[in-house]
A and B are shown apart, each in its own frame.
Chain A
């Protein structure tokens, strides 16, 4: 057992967990943040993607001890109150989701993707960058559209700030 201290969605949290606990289970089982999902056991599907210190990471690959002291953003922490993050809004507006299970991981990956490419994305790049996130419902067509749309919206939002 270890005591893990994290900042999650801007709030300091502390939890006692077995050393073998994965970050995704800490988030879901200990902190009740069930928006982060588990879709596979092999770090392939990306449903568990969160931001650790600003970078998209599959939270099923991280032991809680490795995350100790870090700043974590989950899907629940992405919107500002009732105002959706541009990526969330773009997924809704472009029908970028169906069953919704992969969606939180997709959105967290996509936000990081837009940041890393400074918003300069094309279809081929988005498709390549989404390799680590599996969706079974959409055929990715509308996810790609959503990410490209959001890249534009995020640029506008950044310019406004």
Chain B
């Protein structure tokens, strides 16, 4: 592998700028003549906008302009879109209500923008916004799934009667019902997957400039996918033409899905820069982020799992209601359908699955992909069911899982996915060994003698990553292809630039992508620069989400490298008077195998650019590009085991041990992979114990700051013990499966399974706060 090649724990190239304060995030961008935007937002969850009086605001010092939904309509700016078509059971298309960037008539969630004030300074814009007088006619609100589907519920969109967006299903209902009839045991559960707020530490931000002479826009924005942003802003919103819009996503401070989407604020900033003739900066504050960044999860599920007399699963039936909020965000429709129900087979042989998903509008912030996006919800259903089943069937939870594991591959599940490879026994065994499962009864007894309730919980997760084969997702309703692009530019001196359509917002691509190149050529990572995040520099690409940058983004780089290397070998062979088949690449040189004849990469590159002596007919230059479209999803999988102590007096949960054994296929930089797992586990534990977006009945978000929404802090979490087992993904050149989301998918059920094991009571909602755990303990005692 070499010290800097594939598999090496190379320290990150990007870190020097981050540890010295030299990172360049969007809010750090300052341009001449820049103004600041501040939005006027609805305080009501559901209301008609009666009037907007901007006269006092316009008198305020430093106010440049006040713009409202009326001007958006005037300028024929398009509504926000959802780019994934889902059809209901009856074949009708999903019911999408209109989402204007600033509401001209009706507001449907607290925080929805109705106007924007452009000011000379941040404070002047804010003062102006305070002076905008908006009068509303309040309407009754439906702030939860239950409220939205109740008889007589307030109706959000005329397009969606009963607030139902779609009523979708997957699997074979009749076969599943038959399997249940013959079952020896059936386990049924109601499962609530709590609503979360992604909370990347860098709030969303935009700096928009318009050049009237060139009719050209430049937008710096916090995006995980700048090309997709440019496409949507031009093709759908019509703010700018695609070739007249440069989107730059520089250093971006975390995303976790929330920066995939194209939001109203960035669009308004871009539009306002032309309308006012001044550059416009907008930066979200944290409460705006809570109110307007797409939220995650929020499912209500009824699930039943049927077993035969040998404890083999014979069927799974699931009915889920998913809350999509007040409007359909960019990929919202796909999250509770194709990213969720297709993973309900978990790691298990389940011959019959039938799942129904009803997505509903509510007067809350729109919901879309958040780390894992549908797969954590699926994993939570399957793994809570398995653990609860083990308790009901009086089976060991590890052995019940093992008995039902899929062991031969490829494996076609009843819910679309075809698992290509895996070894679920290997990750289970690694986890059991690391946590010393055999010693658990003794540890539990000791904890009991100390007045603590000890519990252990498992989670054997699987996810579909490497998103995604374009043809397959196209057939399922996706509005885009999900390939990735790469360009390799070898400079005349032999240094290399890789232009990638992937985007790094913490994942360390500048290092890992360089390692792949260094490994192939036998050069240092310092000879390689990774260029990303600028639509003027990089060819069209799809960005980073769905754990795709390794499996799809690196695969595109490999493909481009192969093309470049083939040409370079021809050049070297020509100079070395050898056959190109005999040329091998080692330590930065092109060698004739078995001889001491060699030509350094720098000389090959120089020769390509001087073009004085190239093979007949060869074009000058050494630059190749590739588009890579995966043939299948990838299937990272693993086993997480969590051991906790619960204090029966306070209900407080303390971690004793947390083990994660993952199979991600080939690891490029294990240090970075481990970091991804740590962060994912923290978010999963956050969901299990701490985090929850809470709305009151009127649709006010009660958890709209860090004072009210419990972000995991250092002393809420343990150190984690990680293991890796490996089966290489057969679908891409390096065998990569992806690691970005696993932690958030695998950890949550393990924690809840551990706590419910400790307290001996299966009914426990998330977040499992000390109060909830204490009540669960006492409910159990009362029941006894």
Contact = CB atoms under 8 A, between A and B. Distances in A.
A108 to B, nearest CB: 10
A103 B19 contact: yes
Interface in A52-102: 74-76, 78-79, 84, 88-89, 91-93, 95, 97-102
Contacts of A97: 15, 18-19
Interface in A102-149: 102-104, 107, 123-124, 126-128, 130-131, 133-144
Given A136-B200, A137-B679, A141-B678, A41 B286 contact: yes
B717 A140 contact: yes
A99 B201 contact: yes
Interface stretch (B143-151, B427-435, B628-636, B707-715): B707-715
A152 interface: no
B678 A139 contact: yes
B711 A134 contact: yes
A45 B707 contact: no
B562 to A, nearest CB: 30
Interface residues of B, number: 59
Which of A33, A74, A98 lies at the interface centre, i.e. has the most chain B CB atoms within 10 A of its CB? A98
B391 interface: no
B253 A99 contact: yes
A129 B505 CA distance: 27
Contact of A136 (B251, B252, B679): B679
B714 A140 contact: yes
A44 B254 contact: no
A138 B678 contact: yes
Given A39-B286, A139-B678, A144-B719, A134 B20 contact: no
A101 B253 contact: yes
A69 B507 CA distance: 40
B679 A98 contact: yes
A40 B287 CA distance: 8
Interface residues of A, number: 60
A3 to B, nearest CB: 17
A133 B711 CA distance: 10
Contacts of A99: 200-202, 251-254, 505-506
Interface string B682-703: 1100000000000000000000
A136 B199 contact: yes
A33 B123 contact: no
B291 to A, nearest CB: 12
Contacts of A18: 123
B28 A95 contact: no
Contact of A20 (B123, B720, B743): B123
7 A-B pairs closest in CB distance:
A35-B21, A101-B253, A100-B18, A139-B682, A99-B506, A75-B21, A44-B706
Interface of B: 11-12, 14-25, 27-28, 30, 122-123, 199-203, 251-254, 256, 283, 285-287, 505-508, 671-672, 674-675, 678-683, 705-707, 711-715, 717, 719-720, 743
15 contacts: A34-B21, A35-B22, A41-B287, A45-B706, A75-B21, A84-B19, A88-B19, A97-B18, A98-B675, A100-B17, A100-B19, A100-B506, A123-B719, A139-B681, A139-B683
